[in-house]
């Protein structure tokens, strides 16, 4: 928890309680269903929670926004973001049923009223549009954008405020992304997470934002 408070200091008591509960919940569930690497569970707050919150450090979601977490796995980045943005609606989707079971149980234990879940492939999501799709390294950028684009709302091009981000895809990726970006045909905005959180773990990790 200390590493979260090193970079964020404006949590409500309810948010603090939820964040503190994450360690015990994931420890318990990871012993039943392996959703987090065994070597990473002790570094949950840095490698999973703070990593997820790098999106919050760079993007401020407006109250009432609808966010899709594509390939959420054990609930990242969706669960930490849902704690951070209690007035934003998050829909967490994964094709692996046991992982969604963990996400459902964690969200229920935390009392998160702004989280819904679905055991499905992203291609099966119909008749819904989201302000943003978020994801953490589940596929190449080309695939993420191909899956996301039909689900993202049209941009409100009349908005001139540069602080308001246009709808799009926000994903967490690491390493040399030049070839992946070239193959995707997109022109993303990259934020080096190490600039937000100067910890060794984030030296080659990025928030990648593709506008619709």
Annotated binding residues for S-adenosyl-L-methionine? 71, 76, 122-123, 136
> Does residue 80 contact residue 163 with C-beta atoms inside 8 Å?
no
Task: For the sheet with 89-94, list strands across it.
Answer: 115-119, 89-94, 66-70, 132-136, 168-174, 205-211, 189-192
> Does residue 92 contact residue 119 with C-beta atoms inside 8 Å?
no
> Does residue 208 contact residue 141 with C-beta atoms inside 8 Å?
yes
Tell me the two tokens of residue 71.
């390939």
Q: Between the CA atoms of 192, 116, 12 and 106, what dihedral angle is there, to the nearest 10 degrees?
A: -90
CA 147 to CA 168: how far, in whole Å? 12
Q: Which residues are annotated as a binding site?
A: 71, 76, 122-123, 136
């Amino acid at each position: 928890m200390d590493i979260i408070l090193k970079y964020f200091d404006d949590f409500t008591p309810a948010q603090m309680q939820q964040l503190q509960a994450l360690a015990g919940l994931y420890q318990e569930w990871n012993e039943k269903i392996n959703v987090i690497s065994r070597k990473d569970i002790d570094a949950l707050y840095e490698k999973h929670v703070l990593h997820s919150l790098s999106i919050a450090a760079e993007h401020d979601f407006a109250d009432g926004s609808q966010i899709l977490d594509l390939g959420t796995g054990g609930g990242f980045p969706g669960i930490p973001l849902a704690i951070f943005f209690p007035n934003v609606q998050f829909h967490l989707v994964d094709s692996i049923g046991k992982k969604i079971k963990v996400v459902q149980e964690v969200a229920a234990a935390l009392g998160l009223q702004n989280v819904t879940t679905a055991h499905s492939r992203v291609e099966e999501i119909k008749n819904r549009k989201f302000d943003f799709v978020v994801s953490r390294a589940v596929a190449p950028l080309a695939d993420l954008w191909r899956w996301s684009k039909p689900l993202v709302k049209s941009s409100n091009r009349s908005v001139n405020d540069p602080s308001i981000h246009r709808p799009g895809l926000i994903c967490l990726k690491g390493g040399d992304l030049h070839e992946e970006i070239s193959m995707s045909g997109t022109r993303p905005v990259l934020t080096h997470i190490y600039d937000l959180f100067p910890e060794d773990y984030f030296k080659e990790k990025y928030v990648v934002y593709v506008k619709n």
